[in-house]
Amino acid sequence: MQTRVIDIRTNKNEALEEASELLKSGEVVGIPTETVYGLAANALDEEAVKKIYIAKGRPSDNPLIVHISDISELSPLVKEIPEKVKVMASAFWPGPLTMIMKKSDVIPSVTSGGLSTVAIRMPENEYARAIIKSAGVPLAAPSANLSGSPSPTNAKYVFDDMNGRIPLIIDGGASKIGVESTVITFATEIPTVLRPGGVTVEEIRETIGEIKVADAVLHDLKEGETAASPGMKYKHYAPKANITILKGSLEKYIEYTSGKDFFALVFEGEEKFFKNAVTYGKANDGLSEAGRLFDALRELDEMGAKTVFARCPELTGVGLAVYNRLIRSAGFNIIEL
């Protein structure tokens, strides 16, 4: 299969026409969003959704997020809309927030990975919403990487992973946020954050009060433990390099790594201390770290890095999302200095 790329910033009409035609006929299209790029197909069409799992090489018990372009598209997809979801939607939609609710019968079981719930998001990216609107159906879309690789934040990285596997990629420029959306479930008694992202735990608490954060956000699952979110049990965001996170000060990092042959994954301004270094944003600035993390991981692979020591982000704000992705990239290899 030939994979075409159309730049929607310069060819809007052509991009929307081609994308919507393919999506309506049950094909998979790579689309930009403000978090990361998605692999989109008609969420209500079982055969189309199966093609997403094949293109990604994703286990079929890992459910997909269903993307809508307007709040009016929500109610047909779910059994009921909890009050707190309405409050959250008016505060954070469109945006990097995915909310899980009991699904209605129009959502096929392949889309929800066999679960009775469905994850819904309204992206902020104007191109994403224009594509959903012109397709005329909600779009199921996981991140547009091969299963297990870092999520792609630009059309080139989607092409690297998906060339020959899907017919079309829509290029809308770099993703603004750079890590995937916050996922929170309202199917539990107390709403529970399953994956941290651009909408922070602190912001959600301010908006709806008591919430929980799933254990798997900060830790590896213990043996026999079942994941509230199936995605958390798989190896994730892993570059080819072997990453170890060094928790502690820059001073201790320098001391620990001295004399070793390695690539440094460090914050801006720290690269001058090392022979081989890639930076991922500013220290204590989660948003700037999020914007760089997945690109930095791909760059380390391009540079042929084998051993990587990473500086550790702060666990507050968007930093929590950065930490959550980094510990998975590192296979939970963390050393306290």
Residue 120's binding partner among ligand TXA, Mg ion, none (Cβ under 5 to 8 angstroms by kind) is none
The least CB distance from residue 332 to ligand TXA, in Å, is 17
Site string for ligand TXA, 72-111 (x = CB under 6 A): --------------------------x-x-----------
| 20 touches ligand TXA (CB under 6 A) | no
Residue 207, classed as helix, strand or coil, is helix
Distance, CA of 190 to CA of 173 (rounded, Å): 37
Q: How far is CA 85 from the centre of its chain?
A: 21
Site string for ligand TXA, 238-277 (x = CB under 6 A): ----------------------------------------
Residues β-bridged to residue 75: none
Half-sphere exposure of 82 (CA within 13 A, CB side): 17
For ligand TXA, the binding residues in 318-337 under the rule CB under 6 A are none
The least CB distance from residue 51 to ligand TXA, in Å, is 15
Strand order across the 65-67 sheet: 4-7, 168-171, 29-31, 38-42, 139-140, 65-67, 117-121, 97-102, 182-185, 192-195, 212-213
Distance, CA of 321 to CA of 189 (rounded, Å): 23
Residue 48's binding partner among Mg ion, ligand TXA, none (Cβ under 5 to 8 angstroms by kind) is none
Residue 107's binding partner among ligand TXA, Mg ion, none (Cβ under 5 to 8 angstroms by kind) is none
Residue 6's binding partner among ligand TXA, Mg ion, none (Cβ under 5 to 8 angstroms by kind) is none
Nearest-CB residue for ligand TXA: 231
Interface with ligand TXA (CB under 6 A), residue from 141, 246, 266, 293: 141
Q: How many residues does the chain have?
A: 337
Residue 183's binding partner among Mg ion, ligand TXA, none (Cβ under 5 to 8 angstroms by kind) is ligand TXA
For ligand TXA, the binding residues in 173-232 under the rule CB under 6 A are 180-181, 183, 194-195, 229-231
Residue 335, classed as helix, strand or coil, is strand
The least CB distance from residue 143 to Mg ion, in Å, is 3
**How are beta strands 168-171 and 192-195 bridged, if at all?**
unpaired
By the 10 Å C-beta count (0-12 exposed, 13-18 middle, 19+ buried), 158 is classed as buried
Residues β-bridged to residue 42: 139
Decide whether 204 or 246 has the Cβ nearer to ligand TXA.
Answer: 204
- Count residues near ligand TXA (CB under 6 A): 27
Decide if 264 contacts 276 (C-beta within 8 A). yes
Decide whether 142 or 172 has the Cβ nearer to Mg ion.
Answer: 142
Q: Which stretch binds ligand TXA (CB under 6 A): 9-17, 63-71, 162-170, 201-209?
A: 63-71
Interface with ligand TXA (CB under 6 A), residue from 16, 22, 28, 64: 64
Decide if 195 contacts 234 (C-beta within 8 A). no
Distance, CA of 46 to CA of 41 (rounded, Å): 10
Binding site for ligand TXA (CB under 6 A): 33, 35-36, 38, 62-65, 98, 100, 112, 115, 117-119, 121, 141-143, 180-181, 183, 194-195, 229-231
